[in-house]
């Protein structure tokens, strides 16, 4: 089982570590080679630890996809996750925010990592607003689902779920939250360590948050068009829609991590290698959760993962105020904490109900 699920990830990780070692060897000798090797390894570990709740939520979607699309999630998805979401997407954001040409930003990424990191930091408002609103919608849709039968926090979740009878209430709540954040958290001007004063930050936050909301509505609506359980002919389209949803979800998780990686190194090649390792293992972990039926055996695990997503979304929205910085380590530990608590609650439930009923699917 381990070899089947993680063989691809181990193989890809070895390649990435070899490339990181070679990159260091060609840029600074044997000392730099071992240094870059260690950094790539650390970044991979960070990506896995910060994205465990992402893996659980991915599994809730992936379990309803065909084996073909599950495999594509690991193979095609890795290319999109690494090249598209962790390399190309931040470059596009930097190009838009800084009004630089795409080629110029690519050149900066590879030849002037320090300056690229500064531009990426300037794009913090756009990244946090987009990711925060998208992830908040993911969390609220789950929390306010009135058809959900299993409730981790009992009466509290039941009362909140009753609100879900109002169609698309999560969009309304997220929109109001975005407006409040723009009004009370975002400072309209920003003075970077180097460079001119940046203005119009409130409009940037509002626009980026709105794009996050519209993106969620699009991919969620696209997924809702197809029901592969009822319409076999649409199975491929349903798989594609779910695949797109997972990739956007992954992008929302990864953007904050890309910025955090620049606190460790400004070498984009090493950051890409490290995040590739992490992304591969997160996807393999997702498949393991699906194939072992872990979600069915631990009835509150899905709840814990979504609360972790809710915490991350809240932190991203709070961080729209540039004076508030919550380290990525704390963010990751909060997510892991919810996972651990939900696992504990699930084990306690299974012990109390052993032999009485099967764990909820």
- Check if the beta carbon of residue 42 is closer than 8 Å to that of residue 294: no
Q: How many CB atoms lie within 10 A of CB 56?
A: 27
Distances (CA, A) of 3 to 55, 124, 223, 275, 312: 18, 39, 32, 21, 32
- Interatomic CA distance for residues 12 and 284, integer angstroms: 12
Share of the chain above pLDDT 70, in %: 89
- Interatomic CA distance for residues 342 and 168, integer angstroms: 27
The reported pLDDT for the residue numbered 219 is 80
- Interatomic CA distance for residues 283 and 253, integer angstroms: 13
Residue 59 exposed, middle or buried by CB count within 10 Å (0-12, 13-18, 19+): buried
Q: Per-residue pLDDT tens for 127-179?
A: 889 989 999 998 998 899 888 888 888 788 888 888 888 878 999 999 999 99
Query: Which range, 47-51, 264-268, 275-279, 295-299, is most confident?
Result: 275-279
* pLDDT band, very low/low/confident/very high, at 225 (cuts 50, 70, 90): low
The reported pLDDT for the residue numbered 355 is 59
The reported pLDDT for the residue numbered 232 is 41
- Overall average pLDDT of the 221-231 stretch: 56
* pLDDT for 285 beyond 60: yes
* pLDDT for 356 beyond 60: no
* pLDDT band, very low/low/confident/very high, at 328 (cuts 50, 70, 90): confident
Find, among 50, 32, 48, 39, the residue nearest to 16 by Cα: 39
* pLDDT band, very low/low/confident/very high, at 268 (cuts 50, 70, 90): confident
Query: Which range, 59-68, 75-84, 210-219, is most confident?
Result: 210-219
- Overall average pLDDT of the 302-321 stretch: 91
* pLDDT band, very low/low/confident/very high, at 346 (cuts 50, 70, 90): very high
* pLDDT band, very low/low/confident/very high, at 256 (cuts 50, 70, 90): low
The reported pLDDT for the residue numbered 1 is 60
Which one has a higher pLDDT value, 4 or 166?
166
The reported pLDDT for the residue numbered 298 is 86
- Check if the beta carbon of residue 5 is closer than 8 Å to that of residue 287: yes
Least confident of 36-40, 266-270, 338-342: 266-270
How is residue 147 written in tokens? 């058809």
Cross-strand pairs, 198: 190
Q: Per-residue pLDDT tens for 36-78?
A: 999 999 888 878 877 777 888 888 888 888 888 888 887 888 8
* pLDDT for 230 beyond 50: no
254 Cα distance to chain centroid: 5
* pLDDT for 361 beyond 50: no
* pLDDT for 235 beyond 60: no
Which one has a higher pLDDT value, 202 or 111?
202
Residues 6+ apart with CB under 8 A from 228: 64, 65, 66, 234, 235, 238, 239
- Check if the beta carbon of residue 287 is closer than 8 Å to that of residue 56: no
* pLDDT for 186 beyond 80: yes
């Amino acid at each position: 089982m381990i070899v089947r699920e993680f063989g691809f990830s181990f193989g890809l990780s070895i390649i990435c570590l070899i490339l990181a070692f070679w990159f260091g060897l060609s840029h600074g000798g044997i000392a730099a080679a071992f240094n870059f090797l260690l950094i790539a390894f650390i970044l991979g570990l960070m990506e896995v630890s910060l994205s465990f709740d992402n893996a659980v939520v991915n599994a809730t979607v992936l379990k309803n996809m065909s084996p073909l699309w599950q495999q594509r999630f690991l193979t095609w998805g890795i290319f999109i996750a690494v090249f598209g979401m962790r390399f190309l997407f931040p470059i596009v954001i930097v190009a838009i925010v800084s009004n630089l040409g795409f080629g110029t930003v690519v050149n900066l990424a590879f030849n002037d990592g320090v300056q690229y990191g500064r531009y990426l930091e300037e794009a913090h408002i756009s990244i946090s607003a987009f990711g925060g609103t998208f992830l908040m919608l993911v969390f609220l849709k789950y929390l306010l689902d009135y058809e959900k039968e299993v409730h981790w926090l009992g009466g509290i979740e039941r009362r909140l779920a009753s609100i879900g009878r109002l169609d698309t209430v999560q969009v309304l709540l997220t929109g109001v939250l975005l407006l409040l954040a723009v009004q009370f958290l975002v400072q309209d001007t920003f003075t970077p360590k180097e460079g001119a004063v940046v203005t119009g930050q409130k409009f940037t936050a509002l626009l980026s948050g709105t794009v996050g909301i519209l993106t969620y509505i699009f991919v969620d609506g696209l997924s809702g068009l197809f029901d592969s359980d009822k319409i076999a002919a649409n199975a491929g389209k349903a798989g594609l829609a779910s695949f797109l949803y997972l990739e956007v979800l992954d992008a929302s998780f990864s953007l904050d991590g890309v910025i955090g990686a620049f606190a460790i190194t400004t070498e984009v090649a090493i950051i890409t290698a490290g995040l590739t390792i992490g992304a591969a293992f997160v996807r393999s972990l997702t498949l393991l959760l699906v194939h072992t039926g872990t979600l069915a055996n631990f009835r509150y695990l899905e709840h814990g993962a979504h609360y972790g997503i809710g915490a991350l979304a809240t932190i991203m929205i709070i961080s729209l105020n540039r004076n508030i910085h919550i380290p990525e380590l704390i963010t990751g530990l909060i997510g892991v904490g919810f996972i651990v608590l939900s696992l504990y609650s699930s084990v306690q439930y299974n012990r109390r109900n052993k032999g009485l009923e099967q764990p909820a699917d």
